[in-house]
Amino acid sequence: MEYDHEGPPLPSARGPLSAAVRDYLLSGGLLPPEEAVAAAPAYGDDLQLALYQCYELHYRGFAGVSPDREWDPDLLRLRAALEHRFLTALRADTDVHDSVADAVGDLLVEPVDGKGVTHFLRNEGELWHLREYAAQRSLYHLKEADPHAWVLPRLSGRAKAAMAAVEFDEYGGGRPDRVHARLFADLMGDLGLDTTYGRHLDAASAECLATVNLMSLFGLHRALRGALVGHFAAVEITSSPGSRRLAEAMRRTGAGPAAEHFYDEHVEADAVHEQVVRHEVIGGLLEQEPHLEPDVVFGIDATGHVEDRLAARLLGDWRAGRSSLRTPLPS
Amino acid sequence: MPNSPSDTPRRITVQRRGPLLVEGPVEVELEDGTTVSSDRFRVALCTCRRSRRYPWCDTSHRARSSGPDDGAASGG
């Protein structure tokens, strides 16, 4: 069997499910039965890491693991059970709006006295908070826009053209030095973080893993294309003001020019992307497939749900003066 | 001079509340005579004059209300 020599190392296990997936990827053997999945907490470290490992095979894989495992039927069967558990919890726990207009309308209102993570970082964030934030967000930003590229073959016409245009912008408009994932690696460099893909997986909380697993779940399933579009819209609509606060945090702490630039670029880019996604991607999709409106709403609101859980985790730890990471960052 | 037959009019999208959307690339001449440019596929030009990145939109036109949270992620 061929193995990937490059790629991130497999993460350390966080429980029986993630340990079984790790062992299976390295040396085969038996995967856990569906009952074991049903018994695991849906948002817990073990289930989220097991799912993350399954999904990573579709991105870059892991060093020492065969690339053929991506389409291993037994692993796909386990992944389906993990996804079912996660998606069932998301559907049960997400407060959904009545319409896309209502869901988007709420996202477009800026709180005067916000209490979110970006407000905290702007007002009182120290460099160690910013480093922890960047290390965890690197799980997504080092593959920024990748989960959303999977939706392109599932769209057509106006929605497809607009989605492709936004993705082209995310990928630097044809210039490798402007690819957003590259800009984020430059930000990490300013913060003294290791920029290697997958380096901070062990440090990331279950709440952080859930935000990335959500994108992979929506991106990999054509049946969830409406939710993927809703998710993307939620990210793009909330990004611009949040990025402005993070740019201010980077400036105030003297993090460095690349750290400022990443968020400055997102203030401007996402003010455009928001408009294109709202009017062209959502508008185009629902013009062709109006029955997907509840899925778009679910995608928007489920994104808010997992982001709220991450915010509670980060702010809870930071306000108590503790690290939000599972393993410390090298100083 | 008429434009060449291959030129199509540049589309600008106007909204009652929100930026002007212009197909990029664009060059904008500011009041003091300086120019700024953007080669993005589409550009959002501020019309509310509140942007801190004027002439580019930074979503400062949005309605504001007292609320507990800033919602989702940043950097899309």
Residue B66 pLDDT level (bands cut at 50, 70, 90)? confident
The 10s digit of each residue's pLDDT in B43-61 is 999 999 999 999 999 999 9
What letter would DSSP give residue A177?
Answer: G
A233/A263 same-domain check? yes
Q: Is the pLDDT of residue B5 over 80?
A: no
Q: What is the dihedral of CA A237, A240, A241, A247, to 10 degrees?
A: 150
Same domain, A312 and A167: yes
pLDDT at B7 over 90: no
Per CB-CB distance under 8 Å, the chain B contacts of A141 are 75
Residue-wise pLDDT for A10-53, tens only, equals: 999 999 999 999 999 999 989 999 999 999 999 999 999 999 99
Identify the sign of the CA torsion B64, A297, A267, A139.
positive
For residue A4, being part of any structural domain is answered with: no
**For chain A, how many structural domains are there in total?**
2
Q: What residues 267-296 of chain A have any CB closer than 8 A to a CB of chain B? A: 267-276, 279
What residues of chain B lie within 8 A of the CB of A110, using their CB? 59, 62-65
Instruction: List the domain range (segments joined by +) for residue A283.
Output: 100-319
Residue A180 resides in a domain:
yes
Residue A8 belongs to some domain of the structure:
no
> How high is the pLDDT of residue B32?
95
Examine the domain organization and report whether A86 and A116 are in the same domain.
no
Indicate the residue of B18, B53, B71 with minimum beta-carbon distance to A268: B53
Instruction: Work out the pLDDT band at B74, boundaries 50, 70, 90.
Output: low
A221 and A276: one domain?
yes
Residues of chain A with pLDDT under 70: 1
Same domain, A28 and A172: no
| Per-residue pLDDT at A139 | 98
Helix ranges restricted to H, chain A: 16-27, 34-39, 45-56, 73-93, 100-107, 117-124, 127-141, 146-149, 157-170, 180-190, 206-220, 225-253, 257-276, 283-288, 293-319
pLDDT, position A1: 62
Residue A175 shares a structural domain with residue A201:
yes
Residue at token pair 């400062």: B60
Contact A303 B72 (CB under 8 A): yes
* Mutation choice for A interface testing from B59, B60, B64 by most A CBs within 10 A: B59
Q: Which residues of A touch B75 (CB under 8 A)?
A: 137, 141, 144, 180, 184, 239, 242-243, 246, 262-263, 266, 270
CA distance A237 to B1: 42
Q: To which residue do tokens 């105030």 refer? A: A252
Query: What is the domain-level CATH number for residue A211?
Result: 1.20.910.10
* A-B C-beta contacts closer than 8 Å: 143
Q: In chain A, positions 95-134, which contact chain B (CB-CB < 8 Å)?
A: 107-119
Query: Residue B73: which pLDDT band, with cuts at 50, 70 and 90?
Result: low
- In this structure, are A81 and A136 located in the same domain? no
Asked if A204 and A82 sit in the same domain, the reply is: no
pLDDT score recorded for residue A5? 77
Asked if residue A81 lies in contact with residue A36, where contact means CB atoms within 8 angstroms, the answer is no
Residues A88 and A62 in one domain: yes
Whether residues B19 and A173 touch (CB distance < 8 A) is answered with no
Task: Give yes or no: residues A232 and A117 share one domain.
Answer: yes
Mean pLDDT of B20-28: 95
Q: Which of A66, A93, A120 is the last residue of a domain?
A: A93
Q: Which two tokens stand for residue A162?
A: 């607009």
pLDDT of residue A63: 95
Residues A158 and A299 in one domain: yes
